[in-house]
């Protein structure tokens, strides 16, 4: 059984897609052991509990980035999401993690980002894409490395950008694809079908 920890900060729609894919048996031999939010008001906490997943708020408070990473690792390990064994998913998690934490979960921590990386890393990626005038946008699931939005790319999905698109309309078109892409990446990982060599992630058919 793959023990998954999900780190969230907000709405929790990607979390819900992942929980749903486990409930439906699309992702097998995996369970969400713990959902951790740095914001106690995050809707994602309620989403988790509604699906019967354990959810806790862990605020950074006055902690340094480093100290917060240590506390996160403790909570994950306590719930069976151990380095070298579990899987950590960033799903709209808005804090930058320290290198020490990222290194604990090398190759076992994923993030979803609403752009076709390496274009438009960082915040408001969809608005960045619109402002740049690109005609194709999309989303990326990647392994997490210390540099933000920069790790080996697991899956990507493109969507068209239409004239008259707003940040909202483009975001919702991308989000629909995020909800398919992230569970698929988790499924491939749980089935041992992702093989990484340097920057390249190969998907076993
Ligand atoms: C998504 O757009 C995701 O790509 C980005 O943050 C947003 C999280 O949305 N990293 P939700 O909380 O999963 O609904």
pLDDT above 70 coverage of the chain, percent: 100
Residue 172 in tokens: 């919702």
Distances (CA, A) of 179 to 15, 20, 61, 88: 9, 10, 31, 17
The C-alpha R_g of the chain, in whole angstroms, comes to: 16
Q: What is the pLDDT of residue 76?
A: 98
Query: What confidence category does residue 132 fall into, taking pLDDT thresholds of 50, 70 and 90?
Result: very high
Q: Is the dihedral of CA 38, 44, 45, 51 positive or negative?
A: negative
pLDDT above 90 coverage of the chain, percent: 100
Segment 140-188, tens digit of pLDDT: 999 999 999 999 999 999 999 999 999 999 999 999 999 999 999 999 9
- Ligand 1 within 6 A of CB of 91: yes
Average pLDDT, integer, range 94-101: 97
Active site residue 113: yes
Q: How far is the CA of 92 from the centre of ligand 1 (A)?
A: 4
**CATH code of the domain occupying 2-203:** 3.40.50.170
Smallest CA-to-CA distance from 170 within 142, 136, 140, 141 is with: 136
Q: Which helix (H) or strand (E) holds 187?
A: helix 167-190
Which of the listed residues 9, 178, 183 should we mutate to test ligand 1's pocket, taking the one with most ligand atoms within 8 A of CB? 178
Active-site choice (51, 79, 113, 179): 113
The region, left, alpha or beta by phi > 0 then psi within -120 to 50, assigned to residue 122 is left
């Amino acid at each position: 059984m793959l023990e998954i920890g999900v780190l969230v900060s907000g709405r929790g729609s990607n979390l819900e897609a992942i929980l749903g894919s486990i409930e439906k048996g699309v992702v097998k031999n995996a369970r969400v052991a713990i959902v951790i939010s740095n914001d106690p008001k995050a809707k994602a906490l309620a989403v988790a509990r509604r699906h019967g997943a354990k959810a806790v708020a862990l605020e950074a408070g006055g902690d340094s980035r480093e100290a917060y990473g240590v506390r996160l690792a403790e909570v994950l390990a306590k719930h069976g999401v151990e380095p070298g064994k579990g899987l950590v998913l960033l799903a709209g998690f808005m804090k930058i993690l320290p290198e020490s934490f990222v290194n604990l979960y090398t190759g076992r921590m994923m993030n979803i980002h609403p752009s076709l990386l390496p274009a438009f890393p960082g915040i408001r990626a969809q608005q960045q894409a619109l402002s740049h005038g690109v005609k194709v946008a999309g989303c990326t699931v990647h392994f997490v490395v210390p540099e933000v939005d920069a790790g080996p790319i697991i899956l990507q999905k493109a969507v068209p950008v239409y004239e008259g698109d707003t940040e909202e309309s483009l975001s919702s078109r991308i989000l629909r694809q995020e909800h398919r892409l992230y569970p698929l990446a988790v499924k491939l990982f749980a089935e041992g079908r992702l093989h990484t060599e340097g920057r390249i992630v190969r998907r076993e058919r």
